[in-house]
Amino acid sequence: MAPAKFTQIKQFIFEQIESGKWAEHQRVPSENELAEQFEVSRMTARRALQELTDEGVLNRSKGSGTFVACLKSQSSLMEIRNIADEIREAGHQYTAKVISLEQIKANAELALELDIALGDTVYLSKILHKQNDVAIQLEQRFVNAALVSEYINQDFSVITSHEYLSKEAPLTEATHQIEAIIAEAKISELLAIESQQPCLQVKRRTWSRTGVVSLAILTSPGDKYRLGGHLKL
């Protein structure tokens, strides 16, 4: 299945910037120009430009147009790291337990999140990450099967899903949604925490050049894990 038109526009813009064809502060095509080039509505072109602006790739100026952002400002506020590396670098032992790895069909919500059609094949993995045999994170990951067909055949107790996807579908873009939650009973049981204990949950979508690769929901006990980041100015 071909990526949605607005995704194709985003990929095109990324390629022009990454190849050096479009330099910092260079004006990019307007909504009307992109709509004509890709044979889409102006609204579709506007969505692509707005998402890239929200992600810090472009700058939009009312009355002046849209321009390539300063490359230094395009770094994500949060570095996406492999949890196994984080634990080992801190001097602890990392292990993982695969709770389940299955094939499902995309419902309306998943289809929207992964930019696929209703009923398309999705791989769902549930993996418990442990530090010194203590569960510190439950990873629930929905993967676009059309882009990473061999995902379901991997042993994620040996290699993390992050490591595998980084090799098979290198990351070009990501979004994060972070919130404090009270985990549902099943998640609390897997994390071995009290039913009303606060947790930190990260909802992360990742893209490669070919489209949305995965939606990961990462849930950690509030007293056992913390997020950090490095911002380049």
Task: Assess whether pLDDT exceeds 80 at residue 180.
Answer: yes
Q: Up-side HSE of residue 116: CA atoms within 13 Å toward CB?
A: 27
CA distances from 3 to 11, 111, 181 (A): 10, 12, 33
pLDDT at 226: 58
pLDDT at 230: 37
Task: Assess whether pLDDT exceeds 90 at residue 19.
Answer: no
Please state the rounded mean pLDDT for residues 12-38: 88
Give the predicted TM-score (pTM) of the model. Answer: 0.67
∠131-122-165 over CA atoms, to 5°?
Answer: 50
Please state the rounded mean pLDDT for residues 105-113: 93
Can you list the domains of the chain with their CATH numbers?
5-74 (1.10.10.10), 83-221 (3.40.1410.10)
pLDDT at 227: 54
Whole-angstrom distance, CA of residue 2 vs CA of residue 58: 24
Angle between helices 42-54 and 5-18 in degrees, nearest 10: 50
4-8, 36-40, 53-57, 104-108: least confidently modelled range:
53-57
Which token pair is 64? Answer: 């002046």
pLDDT range class, residue 229, cuts 50, 70, 90: very low
Sign of the dihedral through C-alpha 27, 54, 228, 209: negative
